[in-house]
Amino acid sequence: MKTIWKYEIVLGEFILSMPTGAHILSMAVQAGRVCMWALVNPDAPTVPRRFNCVGTGHPIDADELGSFVGTCMLAGGGLVFHLFDLGDGQLQTN
């Protein structure tokens, strides 16, 4: 049986522990926080999954975009953020 879980999103590159095979549904602002919802099997083993949330106009490595998840706005549209799924793995270190 599957269910939908909510994850809070942070700016920049980050890792979430998610059940294997989690399917990202959407992202939006809820109560002033940027969130993402995913369809998951809660009994599946968890794996680290990388994401990158960037603001409009912020630099991003075009070779590291991953899969586009969605765009959302804060501050009445004054701040616009874009979320990319980078897949399983560890954070990049510079």
Q: How many Cα atoms within 13 Å fall on the side-chain side of residue 82?
A: 12
Domain positions in the chain are 3-88
The tens digit of pLDDT for each residue in 32-87 reads 999 999 999 999 999 999 999 999 999 888 777 899 999 999 888 889 999 999 99
Angstrom distance (rounded) from CA 19 to CA 43: 8
Q: What average pLDDT does the segment 14-37 reach?
A: 95
pLDDT of 3? 97
> Cα angle vertex 47, ends 45, 52, to 5°?
150
Whether 89 has a pLDDT exceeding 80, the answer reads no
pTM value?
0.87
